[in-house]
Structure formats: C-alpha cells, structure tokens
Structure 1
Amino acid sequence: MFTKNDLNQIQELGIDLATVEQQIQDFTDGFPFMQLQKAATPENGVTQLSEEKLEEFVALYESKVKSITPLKFVPASGAASRMFKSLFAFLEEGKSDKSTVQFFERLSEFAFYEDLQKVLPENADEKTIADYYLTSKGLEYGTLPKGLLKFHKYEKANRTAIEEHLVEGANYANTDGIVKLHFTVSPEHLSRFKALLDEVLPTYETDYGVKYDITFSEQRKSTDTIAVNLDNTPFREKDGSLLFRPAGHGALLANLNDIDANIVFIKNIDNVVPDRIKQTTYDYKKALAGVLLYYQDKIFDYQHQLTEWASQPLINELTEFFEKELCVLQNSAFTDLPHNEKVTYFLKKLNRPLRVCGVVKNTGEPGGGPFWCKNSDGTTSLQIVESAQVDLNDEDQKAIFNNSTHFNPVDLICSLKNNKGEKFDLLKFRDPKTGFVTQKSKDGKDLKAQELPGLWNGAMADWNTIFVEVPLITFNPVKTVNDLLRDEHQ
C-alpha cells in the first residue's frame, strides 16, 4: 500500500506506521455509535448547587489555591474565518443577507471599529469596508484566529479575546500573584500572539497586581490523520504524496498531556464576556474547582483506605460512592466477583484523572451534551456525547438524545495527577473507538477525513466525571461576528 517515499513521509511526520494502518482500518470498519442509556438530568447525573453550596465550594477552592498550581488551558489555534461566512459571500459574490445588513448598520458598535477607521480609505463603500476588514489590505480579520480579534469595548482600551482570558486568569487561576496560562496556537500566528502579549502584559500585571506565566504549544503534526479516497485507499496529492490532515480538537490531548499543573481550567477562546458580567463566571469557576478538590480528597482517601484495610464494609461504601456520586454503574458480573477482584477493580477505577464539567440548560444550541453511556467494559458512566456519535436512525437512541436537558459549553476543571503527585498519562484514558469520519474535498476530489476522539468526548472517556449545572450567562460563545452585537458582549 505504501511506497518508500510514503514511509519516509510518515516517519518525517513522527507518526508510527501502525497508527496510519489502524486509521485506514478505522475508515474501512467505521466507528461504533455510543450506546446512550439515558440523558443526564438534574435528578440523575447533573448536580445543581444551592447558593449555600456554591459559597461552600468557592471557599474550599480559595482556602486551597495557595497550595496548588492551577493553570488555565485555552485552545486558541482555530481560524476565525467561519465567523465571517456571510461577509466573505458578500465580498466575493455580492450576496447580502440580514447578517451583512446588520453588520454594516451597526459597524460603529464593534470593538474593532476604531482600528478599521484608521485603515479605511475615504468614502469607502460597503464592499471596500468588507475588503479592508477581512483581508491583508487592512485588519485581515478573515485570516486571523479568534484570540487576536477585538471583542469588547472599554473606556481605557478595547480588548481582544486573549486579553479577556488574561483578566479571567487573574481572578480565579491566581496563586500568590502568579497566573499560569497556556494557549494552543497555530505556528503561523505564534509571533502575533507573542507580540500582542508583549504589548499588553505590563498593563494587566499592573492593573491586577499579578505576574503572568504564559506558555504556548502547537498542534503536533504527529497527531494528523491520513485522508483516504471514498474506497478507503490513501488519498494522494498532485505530486503523489499522501495527504495528512489536522485531526480536530482531540489532537490537543497530547498538548494537555504535557501540562504540569495540579488542576487545569479548560475553556474555549471565544467564550468570554465584558467585565460587567464576569463575576458569575468567577464564582462558578471557583465552585467547580472546589467540587473537584472535594472529590479529589475523597478519592485519595479511599485509595489510602483500600491499601490499608480493604474490608467488606469499605467495598460496600465504595460501591455506593461510585453509583451515587461518581455515577459509575458496575457491570452485571461485578456482584459475583471475589473480594480481592473487587479491591483491584476499585483501585483501578479510583486511579484515574478526574474532571468536573460545567453544563448549561439546553436552549437548542448544536453540539454535545451529558449522557449516561454504556462502556466497552460493561459499566455505565457519564460522558459528553456529540450528535455525530449517536445512531439517530435508531428511534430509541434518537429519543434519548433529544431528551437531553443540558448542553456542553466546554467548561472543565481537570485533575491530572494521582495521589502520589505523579502525572497521569492521559493517552491511556481515551477511547480510540470514539473518533469521527467526515467527508471533505481537495482539488475537486472527494475524500474522507478522520478526527481523533474529541478532547472532552472520547479523549476523556475513561476519566472519573462529575457534571455540575452552571448558569447560562457563563456561556456566551462568538460563532459569528454579529454575536459581538448581543447585549452580553456590549
């Protein structure tokens, strides 16, 4: 199947030949659908915090933050081009719709308006405005990542998305005045990110009395996946070389695996709001971290007890803890296992990364949600599931998916170290059979592409997972440029 040149290309990318062969086999076999058991709801799998509990968990986090090293992890490599789909259609084809009309009518309300005014020629018409806004003639927003776009207006200076994350970090990921942030970026934009931060960091450090420790990483070429023709043979470029493509946000598991921090906050680059409504975000971020620390302590304590004296009452207590609090239902054979095998089972299940996922009430947003799912080992546990992972032709599965009460806003707090302070190898806790196959085209030819298990989906399938409801105001993503005109972003 592969020529000598192919093998050299694969080696240069840092990919194992066996991995490529498995990817081609996955195209041939397809990925199995998730087996939904039921939607996770406030009555069953989603924790709702009372005001008293919210304050309690915030206080727990604040009491422990000095002894831990929190880090804020922000995927920021995606291009913003999809934000401007309608504007590109207007610029290139003259097509106009309600969104383009709104864009031009309310242009002065955007945070980038002053910058745009500085580069526009006099008496610019709408097409010229779009040209100077999107392309290298002016602001070139059409080719930049979201992190570098100005999102919000302020009296002193308007802020980009990445600057809003600096402010957030100072307010909940701050240990003794040190704020650690990590951004995943694409290599072609790294210099711009660094230049922007060099310019603005002194101001934020002065305003918030902190020092920022900022690191970057790039999505590795070794995580790219091979593309195939519709008959599952390797797709070849015009020069005969193999085509490898970026494998989605699941590829960032390798970046997360390199992080050295006790707990990690994960949040998308575009889900930020102005200062006037940030307090709820701060409160719930701290509360989610408090929930994580509470359960981390319980898990570490159970591990200690199991190694000291694994009594039958302790096994009974652990069975209830997993079912009622960690929402892991044992398989049908568990009851009949010998005592020592139950001890081994619980030691394995406790010794896993832990995540607390904020979920918001479902308001019709496309995307994943929290469900109880059947796992390959026969257990049932909480998972975040995307629609592409569900067999919607199965009426029962479709009904469960449509009964979801909550949505995944990508609001995670993760514990990446074990009870000995050692880092988990996160690659050992993913489910490789939860990837995606999509159809694309290149140079006019159809092809099939493969995405790795999603970062908060299959990449974290074998983690201990807790879902907590967070207010809708904490979820304000910017999917189109006109989203910046919503009240929450003004």
Structure 2
Amino acid sequence: MFSNQDLNQIAQRGNTPEAIKHQLTEIKEGFPFLKIEAAAAVGNGILSLDSAQVEKFVNEWATYLSDQHTIVKFVPASGAASRMFKNLFAFLSADYDEPTTDFEKYFFENIKKFAFKKALCAKCKENEGECVCDLIKHGKYKAVVANLLEAKGLNYGQLPKGLLLFHQYEDGPRTPMEEHLVEAALYACSDGKANIHFTVSHDHLELFKKKVAESLPYMEKKFNVQFNVSFSEQKPSTDTIAANPDNTPFRNEDGTLLFRPGGHGALIENLNEIDADVVFIKNIDNVVPDRIKDETVLYKKLIAGVLVDTQKKVFEYLRELEAGVPSREKLAEMLRFVEIILCCKKAGAAELTDAELAEYLKIKFNRPIRVCGVVKNVGEPGGGPFLCYNSDGTVSPQILESSQIDTNNEEYVRMFKEGTHFNPVDLVCATKDYKGNRFNLPEYVDKKTGFISSKSKNGKELKALELPGLWNGAMSDWSTIFVEVPIGTFNPVKTVNDLLREQHQ
C-alpha cells in the first residue's frame, strides 16, 4: 500500500504505517453511534444553582486562588477567520456591484459600527485614495470589501479570528486574544499572575507573538497583573490521512500522501502538556466587551468553584480507599456521590462485594474532572449534553455532536431535537490526581468517537477523518458535571455581522 517515499513521509510526521492503515480502516468502516439513555436536563444530569449556591461556589474559588495554585486559561485559537467572511467573499465574486442580499445590505448600512472601521479606512485611503464612506458614496462597494479581506488591505480573509479587531474602547479597539487576556486577569489570576495558553497554527504564530508583545505592557498596567502567555501548535503526528471515495489513500498532484489536521480533538495532546492545577477552556470568539463581562466572570468563578469543591471530596474519598476497604456504610456514601454528583451510574453496583465496589469507586474517582457550563438551547448549531452508555456498561454525562446521533433511531433524533441545553464550550478542568501527578489525558479518549466528513481538494472529492472532539470523545472517560449558566455567557462570532449584535458593540 505504501511506497518507500510514503513511509519516509509518514515517519517525518511522527507517525507509523500501522497507525495510518488503522485510520484508513476507520474511514472505510466509520464509527459506531453512541448509545444514549437521555438528553441531560435540569434534575437529570444538569445542576441549576440558586443564588446562595452561586455565592458559596464563587467563594470556594476565591479561597482556592488564595492558596497559590497554578491556573491556566487554554484557548484554541488556530482557526482562520475565512468562514466569518463567507458572505463577503461571495459578494466580491458576484456578478453585481452593489449590496443585494440582506447580509450585504446590513453590513454596509452599519459599517461605521465595526471596531475595525478606522483601520479599514486607513487602508482604503492608502490603496484607493478615498475613505470608506467616500468609496461607498461612489458605489465602490467591492473596493471596500477587497481592502478588508485581501492582503493589500487588512487581510482579514486570511488572518486568524483571534487577531481581528472585535470591540471598540475609548483607548482603542481590542482583538479576541486581548479580551481573553482580560478574562484571565479577572477570574484565573493567582498571586498576581495570569497564565494563558493559545493553540495557534504555524502560519500565525509570529503574528500572535507580535500582537501579545504589543499588548502586554498596557494590559499588565491596566489590570495590575503579570501575564505569562504561551503558545503551541497542533502536532503533525495528530494529522490524519485523507482518502478517496473508494477508501484508498488520497494523493497530492506530486504523488505524496495528503494529511489533514485532525480537528480540535488533536489538541488533547497540547492540553496534556499543560502543567496546571486547574485549566479553563473557552473558544477564541466567545468574548464580550468589558461593560458586560461581569456575568461571564461570575459564572466562570462558579463552575471553577464547583470543580474544586468536587475535587476536594473526590481526593478525600481516594485517600480513604487507598488506606483499605472502607465500611459498607462509607462505600454506600461514596457510591451515592458517584451517582448523584458525578451522574455516573452502573446497574447492580450496590450488589457488588465490598472489595469489588471499592475497586469500581477507585476507577471512577481517579480520573480527570471537568465542569461544563451549559446554556438553554436557542437553536445554535453544535453539540449538547447527554447521558450516554460507556463501554464498561456505566451511564455518564457526555457532550455529543449531531454526527454522533443515529438518525435512523427516531427516539435519539427526538432527544437531540428536544434537548433543553446546548454546549457553548465553557469548561474548567482538573488534570492532576490526588497525589499531584498529571493524568496522561490520551488514555481517557474514546477512540471510537471520531468523525468522517466529505471534503474536496483541487476539485477532487475526498474523505476526511477527524479525531474524537476535544470536549466530545477526547474527554469521554473524564468525570463530568454539567452546570446551567446564563445564555448571556455565550456570544460567539460566526459571521462578521455577528459583531453588530448589541453584545459586541
């Protein structure tokens, strides 16, 4: 199947022929659908906390921070912003010159409201000899868009989303990257230090470093915080082979094998290298201006408080289990904690012998923990919180994407459509065990939860393999707690016009 040239190429990427053959088998055979017990809901897998509980857990987090723990904010930021401008790229290549669609009209009608307006104006003057308003007045709409998207202008069509100007302030506009720095200062700062880690693409690494170098002096002075900013790139060894429709390896025009990024699930390797007691994970584009950050900050502290409070109890139980088999009464208490707090249930667990139950509890306690904020479903595309069956027969909380649902199973489709909550990628994680050792996170990945999608290259159709998603299958065997958070904490920017929403103004 593979030539000597192929074998060299595979080795250079840090992979093995056996692993690549296995990927081709996965592409051919696909992945099994998950067995679902129910969509998670308040009272059945999702915690909804009252104001007194919120205050309690926020205070728990404040106490934890005061004890000099290492906190890291982990932000997947490698995506290019090209999809944000899909409609504007279409306008550039359209056979008409004036805004025609509702999207185009709305963009131009509100162009003065974008945080990048001043920078765009400067580029238009430089390249066209006229400002944005004059170009529009003279019907040169496409010149405005070209200066926004193309390399001669702001190059927003090729830049990463994290480096676009999102929000306007009196002291100048901010990028999402800078907004994440602010968030880190507000809820992830310990002993005057805030650690933040961005995963970026190789092509954008130097741009990120340059922007951070420009921003840090001002940010550190403004928030009286010392920032430690680090970066990593998705490892080539996590790229997956592409296949032709007949499941044979897809080849580039020069005959080499085509490898594609394995999706955000590949970042479990990057996360595995983070040495921290607590790690926050949040997407790059889900940020808001300072004027409405309070709600986001409060609920970040809340889910972090739930995490450290849960971890404290888990560690206490693990030390008791390590000392010997506890009393039946104590084992029953631990089992209730696993079933009620961690929402992990096993049929017949109460009938196990003391030794068997102690061993089961050890396994369920001694693993990474994550607390996931979930918001009420408002029809956004993406995954949701479910209670699913695992390979060991237990049922536990999982975040599922639509592609993991068997569309031939009417009951599962109904569960997915009628699910009350949505996953906004709002996670806080504990990745060390009760002895302070880091878990090896790849060991907790469900490798049977990848995705196969249809793509194309140079007009040729191909099959692409995505690894188990970072917050889906990559964290499948973690202890998971879902906590309801307000919809106001979820403000993603999927298209450029989303920046015109009130929350981003």
**TM-score interval w.r.t. the shorter chain?**
over 0.9
Q: How many Å apart are 1:345 and its aligned residue?
A: 1.4
Q: How many Å apart are 1:442 and its aligned residue?
A: 1.3
Amino acid at match of 1:246: P
1:131-280 alignment runs, 5 A limit: 131-280=146-295
Q: How many Å apart are 1:335 and its aligned residue?
A: 4.5
Provide the rounded CA distance (Å) in 2 between the counterparts of 1:18 and 1:360: 41
Amino acid at match of 2:123: V
SS at match of 2:247: coil
1:31-180 alignment runs, 5 A limit: 31-67=31-67, 68-94=69-95, 96-120=100-124, 121=128, 122=130, 123-124=134-135, 125-180=140-195
Provide the rounded CA distance (Å) in 1 between the counterparts of 2:460 and 2:114: 39
Normalised by the length of structure 1, the TM-score is 0.98
The C-alpha deviation readout for 1:119-163, integer Å capped at 9, x for no partner, is 102143110000000001110001001110000011111111111
SS at match of 1:417: coil
The C-alpha deviation readout for 1:419-471, integer Å capped at 9, x for no partner, is 01100000000100000000111122111000000000000000000000000
Matched, 1:23 2:23: yes
| Paired residues of 1:37 and 1:400 also in contact (CA < 8 A) | no
Alignment partner, residue 4 of structure 1: 4
Q: How many Å apart are 1:166 and its aligned residue?
A: 0.9
1:372 pairs with 369, 383, 387, which one? 387
Amino acid at match of 2:146: D
Q: How many Å apart are 1:341 and its aligned residue?
A: 2.1
Matched, 1:315 2:316: no
Amino acid at match of 2:388: C
Provide the rounded CA distance (Å) in 1 between the counterparts of 2:328 and 2:373: 34
Amino acid at match of 1:477: P
Amino acid at match of 2:93: E
Alignment partner, residue 438 of structure 1: 453
Moved more, 71-80 or 440-449: 440-449
The C-alpha deviation readout for 1:222-281, integer Å capped at 9, x for no partner, is 100011111111111111111110011001110000000000000000000011110011
Alignment partner, residue 480 of structure 1: 495
| Paired residues of 2:384 and 2:400 also in contact (CA < 8 A) | yes
| Paired residues of 1:61 and 1:293 also in contact (CA < 8 A) | yes
Amino acid at match of 2:485: V
2:362 pairs with 337, 347, 358, which one? 347
The C-alpha deviation readout for 1:400-436, integer Å capped at 9, x for no partner, is 1122100000000000100011000000001000000
Q: How many Å apart are 1:94 and its aligned residue?
A: 3.9
In structure 2, do the counterparts of structure 1 residues 261 and 29 end up closer, same or farther at CA, with 3 Å as the change threshold?
A: same
1:419 pairs with 422, 427, 434, which one? 434
SS at match of 2:80: coil
Q: How many Å apart are 1:336 and its aligned residue?
A: 4.5
Provide the rounded CA distance (Å) in 1 between the counterparts of 2:79 and 2:71: 24
SS at match of 1:129: helix
Provide the rounded CA distance (Å) in 1 between the counterparts of 2:244 and 2:437: 43
Moved more, 120-129 or 378-387: 120-129
Provide the rounded CA distance (Å) in 1 between the counterparts of 2:444 and 2:95: 49
Provide the rounded CA distance (Å) in 2 between the counterparts of 1:331 and 1:428: 24
Provide the rounded CA distance (Å) in 1 between the counterparts of 2:399 and 2:230: 28
SS at match of 1:235: coil
Moved more, 197-206 or 118-127: 118-127
| Paired residues of 2:332 and 2:350 also in contact (CA < 8 A) | no
Q: How many Å apart are 1:211 and its aligned residue?
A: 0.8
Moved more, 410-419 or 10-19: 10-19
Alignment partner, residue 476 of structure 2: 461
The C-alpha deviation readout for 1:159-209, integer Å capped at 9, x for no partner, is 111111111111011111111000001111111111111111101100110
Moved more, 261-270 or 391-400: 391-400
Amino acid at match of 2:498: D
| Paired residues of 1:384 and 1:456 also in contact (CA < 8 A) | yes
| Paired residues of 2:453 and 2:463 also in contact (CA < 8 A) | yes
**Structure 2: gaps of 5 or more residues:** none
Amino acid at match of 1:448: K
Aligned length: 489
Amino acid at match of 1:315: L
| Paired residues of 1:262 and 1:415 also in contact (CA < 8 A) | yes
The C-alpha deviation readout for 1:351-390, integer Å capped at 9, x for no partner, is 1000000000001111100000011111100000000000
| Paired residues of 1:86 and 1:97 also in contact (CA < 8 A) | no
Q: How many Å apart are 1:479 and its aligned residue?
A: 0.2
Amino acid at match of 1:211: Q
Amino acid at match of 1:284: Y
Matched, 1:405 2:420: yes
Moved more, 313-322 or 190-199: 313-322
Provide the rounded CA distance (Å) in 1 between the counterparts of 2:498 and 2:104: 12
Normalised by the length of structure 2, the TM-score is 0.95
| Paired residues of 1:227 and 1:243 also in contact (CA < 8 A) | yes
Moved more, 450-459 or 439-448: 439-448
Alignment partner, residue 448 of structure 1: 463
**Structure 1: gaps of 5 or more residues:** none
**RMSD (Å), alpha carbons:** 1.0
SS at match of 2:398: strand
Q: How many Å apart are 1:16 and its aligned residue?
A: 2.2
SS at match of 1:216: strand
Alignment partner, residue 401 of structure 2: 386
Provide the rounded CA distance (Å) in 2 between the counterparts of 1:106 and 1:401: 36
Amino acid at match of 1:40: A
Provide the rounded CA distance (Å) in 1 between the counterparts of 2:48 and 2:64: 23
Provide the rounded CA distance (Å) in 2 between the counterparts of 1:348 and 1:21: 32
Alignment partner, residue 296 of structure 1: 311
Amino acid at match of 2:438: K
SS at match of 1:2: coil
Provide the rounded CA distance (Å) in 1 between the counterparts of 2:503 and 2:458: 41
| Paired residues of 2:338 and 2:364 also in contact (CA < 8 A) | no
Amino acid at match of 2:480: T
| Paired residues of 1:331 and 1:377 also in contact (CA < 8 A) | no
| Paired residues of 2:368 and 2:431 also in contact (CA < 8 A) | yes
Provide the rounded CA distance (Å) in 2 between the counterparts of 1:118 and 1:24: 50
2:342 pairs with 326, 341, 366, which one? 326
Provide the rounded CA distance (Å) in 1 between the counterparts of 2:107 and 2:176: 19
In structure 2, do the counterparts of structure 1 residues 12 and 288 end up closer, same or farther at CA, with 3 Å as the change threshold?
A: same
